[in-house]
Structure 1
Amino acid sequence: MVSSEIYEKVTYKQIDNMKHALGFDQRKVRGTKHRRYEPYRNYFNTGERDVYDWELLVSIGFATKSRENWYHVSDDGRVFLERVTGVKFLPESD
């Protein structure tokens, strides 16, 4: 479990980047009481200006890196996004 102190260090840009990595689209959220979203991907290929933000996410455990400039939202990152958005992120569809 990640401490709330770490939550406070995440920027809006990093949150948007993580949502983008999961292909998050508010229009595709299902449910009213139990809101949920099924991502169709989990990757972000950065340009030079986004590397720093993603490396910080990796250092706090909200992302992983699979190769140069290629990042993925981790399980802890999903939990964080669920708390921020109020939407349950289901496993990616195959």
Structure 2
Amino acid sequence: MWEAYVQWVLYSLLIESILLNIPIPVIYASEEEDNRWNIVDGLQRLTALRRFFDNNFRLSGLQVLSELNGMRFRIKPQSKKSIKQWEFKGDFNI
């Protein structure tokens, strides 16, 4: 149980960094001949983002944006059209 908590806190701190516009390390990928992508470095960061966007954990352990602790990512159906910058393209099998 403790290890899972630590993992969620680390995921949360990554999300906090992104919300604060703090640069995160580059994610490296290679493209195969069949046009599939292999993640060379950054799989844990992509996993954290996907789990956050899928509402799989609540933010916890945030230090700067502590008012967001306990919150999840949610988009209200009526607001999806206005959030175009969050559109992801690609097939991520994480």
TM-score, structure 1 as length reference = 0.33
Higher relative contact order (CA 8 A, sep 6+): 1
Larger Rg: 2
TM-score, structure 2 as length reference = 0.33
